[in-house]
Amino acid sequence: MDSEPPGLRIKPLFGDGDGDKIPDIELMEVRTLGIFAVWWDKRFEWESRANFILKTLYKVREDCIKNLGMSDPKNVRLGFYLNVYIHDSDLYYSGSTKKDDLFPDKWYAMVKDNRMGLPYMTLPWQDTDGDLVRHEGFHVFQNEWYRKRTKQWHELSWYIEASASWYAADRANQKESVTSYERVHFITANPHLAIWHTEHNKKIGDQDEKELNQRQYALECYLFFLCEVCNVPKNIITDIFKIKDKVNPAEYLFRMIGSHNLREFFTYWAACNTDDFSYLSNVQKKFIDIQRWNSKKSVLNQLVFSWSSRNLKRGDSNEDIIFHPTEKLMPRGWSYNVLELKNDYGGKGKYEFKLEGDAFGSEGAPSYFSGRVLIKKNWSSYRERRGNTEHVPFIMSGGIEGRASIVADLGDLIYVIITSVPEYFTSNQTYNYRLTFSKKEI
């Protein structure tokens, strides 16, 4: 790898200040390092930001090419720098910055192709932190791979974004890592959505809200969990970008990690998400709490069912309670449901659970389910007062039926996590099931 390939040319295609559709270089500043040229409107003092961006992107390139075996963008092959534009983000900060610049409106952070078919990057001056620069930098080195697969975009886009966010977080320093997982609450807000759900790959009738449309960024926590908790080698996350043939990312993980392992890992991840993201630090959780409070409450569907032992008929502690998910919240492919049971009346008891899944999804794909029971001992709304959490997996038969039993003390909070993990990695079809449970006082 040449740290700075010889003879690269500077050619901006944005920065028109007089309306003639030709970039006005005399109105801009530019700095270069390696294969990158960072531009900004010279009316603003962005040199320190430009240097930070260049140094960060230089490290990303060195890492991606030397350690991950990825490729330079086509700009280098054709003899051009990859342009990076620091701009005023009127997309999210409209009317508040008073820093209108030479560049197009409605930009935020992205890597796209210009009219010459060459990728370029845009970064808002308001948010040029290391996480964002590494995320967009990783996209630069994914570019040669995904530009050849535009017809597969709906299958690929969730993984392209999730892996870029995972990469950015994985290379973060201690200070940056606090905010690395700022969107993870999007997962628990609507866990019934498929992991490949995006704004352009959703079911007709799904709400058009960022809490649903931006889940792909939050799935960095899934890749983090696979690597840091389940010991999946990190190269598996990035080796997909070396594959030349057509590939579906969800299926790729299924084959590389193994069907049994990934199903167990996914169900464990779903349970840990439900357990207040137990794999993240307390500092990260507190930051997530702030983001959660700023989310729309109208799109929160964390639970498909909530029940209290007070609902049991007097003198009948063996009553069977049968639950079916509604069509709206029925799990899709590689998603999950969460049921909440409060053991807040009647004392200590043994709970028996029976899961019965439909053999096929709503569009005919073979179903496969897994499950786990989470017991939060002596639960409290205050983290520091909570007791231990216990996990009990369902014993499954053929991926359709399963059973579990637990003992809960008075005051325990029980969550039942049902995951839909079929060997089918596309569509938004649903997978129906029935859960029967009972409590026997002991």
Q: What is the distance between the alpha carbons of residues 120 and 23, in angstroms, rounded to a whole number?
A: 15
Q: Distance of CA 256 to CAs 230, 241, 248, 261, Å?
A: 14, 14, 12, 10
Residue with tokens 């994985």, as numbered in its chain: 170
CB neighbourhood size of 106 (10 A) = 9
Q: Distance of CA 375 to CAs 270, 274, 309, 316, 405, Å?
A: 14, 11, 15, 23, 11
pLDDT of residue 189: 94
CB 183 within 8 A of CB 254: no
With residues binned 3-state (H G I as helix, E B as strand, rest as coil), the percentages for the chain, rounded to 5, are 35, 25, 45
Q: What is the distance between the alpha carbons of residues 145 and 70, in angstroms, rounded to a whole number?
A: 9
Please, what is the Cα angle at 373 between 367 and 378, to 5 degrees? 160
The helix (run of H) or strand (run of E) holding residue 139 is helix 130-146
Q: Distance of CA 209 to CAs 1, 186, 199, Å?
A: 43, 11, 9
CB 184 within 8 A of CB 165: no
Q: What is the distance between the alpha carbons of residues 385 and 295, in angstroms, rounded to a whole number?
A: 26
Residue 227 DSSP SS3? helix
At 182, give phi and psi (nearest 5°).
-70, -20
Burial of 172 (0-12, 13-18, 19+ CB in 10 A): middle
In sequence order, what E strands does 194-245 have?
Answer: none
Would you tell me the crossing angle of helices 153-170 and 220-228 to the nearest 10 degrees? 60
CB 419 within 8 A of CB 371: yes
309-335 burial, b for 16+ CB within 10 Å, e for fewer?
Answer: beebeeeebeeeeebebeeebbbbbbb
Q: What is the distance between the alpha carbons of residues 37 and 123, in angstroms, rounded to a whole number?
A: 13
Q: Residues, the chain, total?
A: 442
218: left (phi over 0), alpha (psi -120 to 50) or beta: alpha
Residue with tokens 């325990």, as numbered in its chain: 412
Residue 269 DSSP SS3? helix
Residue 306 DSSP SS3? strand
Query: How much is the pTM?
Result: 0.93
pLDDT per residue of the chain (442 residues) written in tens, 0 to 9: 677 787 899 999 999 888 888 999 999 999 999 999 999 999 888 999 999 999 999 999 999 999 999 999 999 999 999 999 999 765 445 444 555 788 887 788 999 999 999 999 999 887 778 899 999 999 999 988 888 777 788 889 999 999 999 999 999 887 778 888 989 999 999 999 999 999 989 998 888 888 888 999 999 999 999 999 999 999 999 999 999 899 999 999 999 999 999 999 999 999 999 999 999 999 999 988 888 877 777 678 999 999 999 988 664 567 899 999 999 999 999 999 999 999 998 889 999 999 999 999 999 999 999 999 999 987 766 666 667 899 999 999 999 999 999 999 999 999 999 999 999 999 999 999 999 999 998 8
CB 368 within 8 A of CB 420: yes
pLDDT of residue 408: 95
Q: Please give the single-letter amino acid code of residue 317.
A: S
Which of 207, 197, 144, 165 has the alpha carbon at shortest distance from 335? 197
pLDDT of residue 89: 62
Please, what is the Cα angle at 232 between 226 and 235, to 5 degrees? 110
- Dihedral over Cα of 123, 148, 171, 193: its sign: positive
Q: Please give the single-letter amino acid code of residue 173.
A: N
Q: What is the distance between the alpha carbons of residues 69 and 239, in angstroms, rounded to a whole number?
A: 8
Question: What stretches of 240-314 show up as alpha helix (H) in DSSP?
Answer: 249-257, 259-274, 282-293
